[in-house]
Chains A and B, each alone.
Chain A
Amino acid sequence: MTRTVKNRLIKILLSLLILIVAVLIIIFNLRDNIVYFYTPTELERIDISEKKIMRVGGLVKKDSIKNDGSKNFSFIITDNTNEINVDFQGILPNLFAEEKGVVVEGSYVQENLFRANKVLAKHDENYMPPEVVNALKDDGKWQGQ
């Protein structure tokens, strides 16, 4: 092996090593920051004992919104099969309403009580998160186009 070939080989191996390490770091970081989305029905099947951050989406159940006169809200998210109680402290988005699609992010505090730290805003009254549309379609409850 000549000197130049050897040098080049070392360079290539070194860059490969850096590349692999970088990609691994990035992928591990990605895995740590993933937030899964579930419908109330899917939640039945998963282990909720670990307090992982997750998103839950569905429709806000009719007559379920309660408020203590202050910024504490509770409501029920339903996919018309199963439902889940959610409580939230803060400002609800303008388009939050009964029987409209909603996505919340947060975690379980106890069995069947989900504490949302974010209620996701949406841009228009017909917009529904694709996950909610899919979930409703899967359940045959979809009424849109």
Chain B
Amino acid sequence: MAGAMSEILSFVATFFLIICFSVSLFQMRYFIRKYEGINGNHVLLSTIQFTSCLFAFLILIYAFLTSNFDFQLVYSNSHTDKPLLYKLSGTWGNHEGSLLMWILILTIFNFFYSIKSSSDIKLRNKIVANQSLLILGFVSFCLLMSSPFILMKGNFSQGLGLNPILQDPLLAIHPPILYFGYVGFSLVFSFAIAGMLNNQVNKEWASALKPWILIAWVFLTLGIALGSFWAYYELGWGGFWFWDPVENASLMPWLSATALLHCIMVLEKRNMFQSWTILLSILTFSLSLVGTFLVRSGILNSVHTFASDPGRGLFILLFLAIVLLFSFGLFASKGSSLEKSNSFAAVSRESGILVNNWLLLTILFIVFLGTIYPLFIDLIFEKSLTVGPQYYVVTIAPIVFLLLIFMTITPFISWAKGSISQTIIKIKYSSILSLTLAFAISLYFDLFSITQIIILFLSFSLIITSLFSGIQVSKSNIIVKSILGKTLSHAGFGLFILSVIANATYSEEKIYDAKIKDILEINGHKFVFEKINHVEGENYNSIQAVFNLQEDNKVVEQFMPEIRFYNDPPTATSETSILYGLFSDIYIVMNVPQYQDSISVRIHVKPFMNFIWLSVFMIIIGGVLSIIYRIKN
């Protein structure tokens, strides 16, 4: 039997969740007409929602840190030998714990919204009510179907352990950050519902909503970037994006959120695109739901799928269906009355943004189709298949070119009615500069294909025009300066496309069988296989191969790829050894010498990886800058 202390902890934690449930139910009274205008104690109540979830979560963390195996969840996901950080991250490294974290973040957003909220009481009340409705739904799911506080029957002194591949510092913080992104869009969704209910989707509504979109978007971007960086050094496949269903599931809300981020600008400046903004808000949150939960449900066939439980997937699908039915039903009845007619010419900033929105949604559709098609065929025809990465690359590439063009020119077209000739005048110098650069580089590297020159030209145009306008406004007053974030993000995107393509073109990979003292060569680099070490880690043993990178008979760098053998659960993982160079990474992975005397080694030369990370960083910092300027104004 579980100890008395555990019984108390489990009871108290469940009790906290019930408090949160009741308060959320009470906050939902704002949906009723009688209460919609009253100034209730929403700050106090949101604080209670937040703190009660926080305490429940802290109890779970405590159970994990103390390796309290009376808790079923701790027993199945932890082990006393685990380093402290992974005991902590084990809290959210499983379905139940991550669900509790999802609820906690829901209440965090509700709490911060409540204390920062606008002067419009009716709108605020509806938003708080809708946010509480979401909290209520997820707390019920947690309590009824996936409580993290269920106790074991019987005594266990040791747990089953956490999947070693998840035992990585980056992967410890990746889920919380990604969740802040996903869950941030719940508030966007609540804004959309409240706006429709109150019939006030207007400039003020957009101004109040925009910072929240930015915050969620920054977290989501950062979360995806961290996940991708982890895949790069941990999975040892040499890539950073595999078009895997789980990766796609996080990319889809990002695409729709990025579209939303742009169209809300039109709403804020010109009071138009009301229904489009609402649609994108609902879509983004729905895709976030899909992104979070289908990943853990096991429905998606992915290398990233860990635990699977179709029953829970069903609940999420049901919840998603309700969200969609409810919000689209509301949209159908209110949508047409939201739209304010406000005309714009074919050549205008509005059209440019609209086109970009469509391009982003086309990419979204492509990704969606590729991800969902195998599921669909499996359900209907019971035939298993996968969609190759080539599908995504080939279909998305032309759209990215168009995206680059529109991203370059749209910021230079005036609102309402612009002119092509004026836009050309504004970007003529940077275009000439980009064209020169593109030709210079293609001459230098002997690239003469039209596509390559076009890619170079388009990416450089975007980078240079963005940077130029960034430099121009950096000396102006604070209101003009607020577009600095945008210019940085756009330049980052240009650099991203450029480095991704360069990376794909110039990456090299070689596989060797290596015996000690062998010399391996790739791209003019010489590696000498020195020796094999046996290393004992905190909760694993490992075989480590030592390679010396030599130049002129001198050792310039030592590579030590490893294979780690964990006992709980019994698993082996490859640890890559990477030399991060300014222009090119060198990346070594080894494999268990299972069936042969020599070891298998794979050496990758990955150019421009640092530029990829840098560009993503620029995109994120751009978002952060926008938030800061927004708060300052």
Which of A36, A96, A97, A121 has a CB less than 8 Å from the CB of B235? Answer: A121
A34 pairs with B513, CB closer than 8 A = no
Which of B165, B306, B365, B597 has a CB less than 8 Å from the CB of A26? Answer: B365
- The A-contacting residues of B in range 384-404, CB under 8 angstroms, are 384-388, 390-391, 394-395
B591 pairs with A95, CB closer than 8 A = no
Query: Quick one: which of A33, A35, A37, A92 has the most chain B CB within 10 A?
Result: A33
- The A-contacting residues of B in range 507-564, CB under 8 angstroms, are 511, 513, 563
Residues of B within 8 A of A134 (CB): 384
Stretch among B30-38, B265-273, B469-477, B567-575 lining the A interface = B567-575
The digit string for B558-594, where 1 denotes a CB below 8 A from any CB of A, is 0000010000011111100000000000000101101
Which of B303, B386, B388 has a CB less than 8 Å from the CB of A123? Answer: B303
B596 pairs with A124, CB closer than 8 A = no
Tell me whether A94 and B369 are in contact in the complex, defined as CB-CB below 8 angstroms, given that A34-B388, A37-B385, A125-B571 are known contacts: no
Tell me whether A29 and B571 are in contact in the complex, defined as CB-CB below 8 angstroms, given that A67-B595, A70-B513, A123-B304 are known contacts: no
A95 pairs with B571, CB closer than 8 A = yes
For this complex, into which size category does the number of interface residues on chain A fall? 35 or more
Tell me whether A95 and B572 are in contact in the complex, defined as CB-CB below 8 angstroms, given that A26-B366, A34-B386, A67-B595 are known contacts: yes
- The B-contacting residues of A in range 63-104, CB under 8 angstroms, are 65, 67, 69-71, 73, 90-97
B373 pairs with A30, CB closer than 8 A = yes
- Is B90 interfacial (CB-CB < 8 Å)? no
Q: What's the Cα separation between A36 and B370 when bound, in Å?
A: 14
B384 pairs with A36, CB closer than 8 A = yes
A131 pairs with B596, CB closer than 8 A = no
Shortest Cβ gap from A21 to chain B (Å): 12
A91 pairs with B570, CB closer than 8 A = no
Q: What's the Cα separation between A134 and B382 when bound, in Å?
A: 10
B573 pairs with A34, CB closer than 8 A = no
A91 pairs with B591, CB closer than 8 A = yes
The digit string for A22-59, where 1 denotes a CB below 8 A from any CB of B, is 10011101101111110000000000000001010000
Which of A29, A34, A91, A122 has a CB less than 8 Å from the CB of B602? Answer: A91
Main secondary structure of the interface of B (DSSP, over half): mixed
- Is B598 interfacial (CB-CB < 8 Å)? yes
Q: What's the Cα separation between A37 and B391 when bound, in Å?
A: 17
- Is A130 interfacial (CB-CB < 8 Å)? yes
B387 pairs with A30, CB closer than 8 A = yes
B165 pairs with A124, CB closer than 8 A = yes
Q: What's the Cα separation between A97 and B237 when bound, in Å?
A: 19
B591 pairs with A124, CB closer than 8 A = no
B574 pairs with A55, CB closer than 8 A = no
Q: What's the Cα separation between A53 and B385 when bound, in Å?
A: 11
- Is B383 interfacial (CB-CB < 8 Å)? yes
The digit string for A123-136, where 1 denotes a CB below 8 A from any CB of B, is 11111011100100
Which of B370, B571, B600 has a CB less than 8 Å from the CB of A91? Answer: B600
- Is B163 interfacial (CB-CB < 8 Å)? yes
A33 pairs with B390, CB closer than 8 A = yes
Q: What's the Cα separation between A125 and B602 when bound, in Å?
A: 23
Residues of A within 8 A of B388 (CB): 33-35, 53
Q: What's the Cα separation between A21 and B165 when bound, in Å?
A: 43
Shortest Cβ gap from B509 to chain A (Å): 10
B571 pairs with A36, CB closer than 8 A = no
Q: Which residue of A lies closest to B600 (CB)?
A: A91
A37 pairs with B386, CB closer than 8 A = yes
Residues of B within 8 A of A71 (CB): 511, 513, 596, 600
Q: What's the Cα separation between A36 and B305 when bound, in Å?
A: 20
Which of A55, A92, A97 has a CB less than 8 Å from the CB of B386? Answer: A55
- Is B430 interfacial (CB-CB < 8 Å)? no
- The A-contacting residues of B in range 451-504, CB under 8 angstroms, are none
Shortest Cβ gap from A59 to chain B (Å): 16
Shortest Cβ gap from A103 to chain B (Å): 9
- Is B6 interfacial (CB-CB < 8 Å)? no
- Is B301 interfacial (CB-CB < 8 Å)? yes
Q: What's the Cα separation between A15 and B370 when bound, in Å?
A: 23
- Is B140 interfacial (CB-CB < 8 Å)? no
- Excluding A120-B303, A124-B569, 17 further A-B contacts by CB distance (< 8 Å) are A29-B391, A32-B390, A34-B388, A35-B388, A36-B383, A36-B385, A37-B383, A37-B385, A53-B388, A67-B596, A92-B600, A94-B592, A123-B163, A123-B165, A123-B303, A125-B571, A126-B569
The 10 closest A-B pairs by CB, nearest first: A33-B391, A37-B384, A33-B388, A94-B572, A67-B595, A91-B600, A131-B384, A91-B591, A36-B385, A29-B395
Q: Which B residues form the contact surface with A (CB < 8 A)? A: 163, 165, 235, 237, 298, 301, 303-306, 362, 365-366, 369-370, 373, 383-388, 390-391, 394-395, 511, 513, 563, 569-574, 589, 591-592, 594-598, 600, 602
Q: Which A residues form the contact surface with B (CB < 8 A)? A: 22, 25-27, 29-30, 32-37, 53, 55, 65, 67, 69-71, 73, 90-97, 120-127, 129-131, 134
Can you sample 6 A-B contacts with CB below 8 Å?
Answer: A30-B387, A37-B384, A70-B598, A71-B511, A73-B595, A123-B165
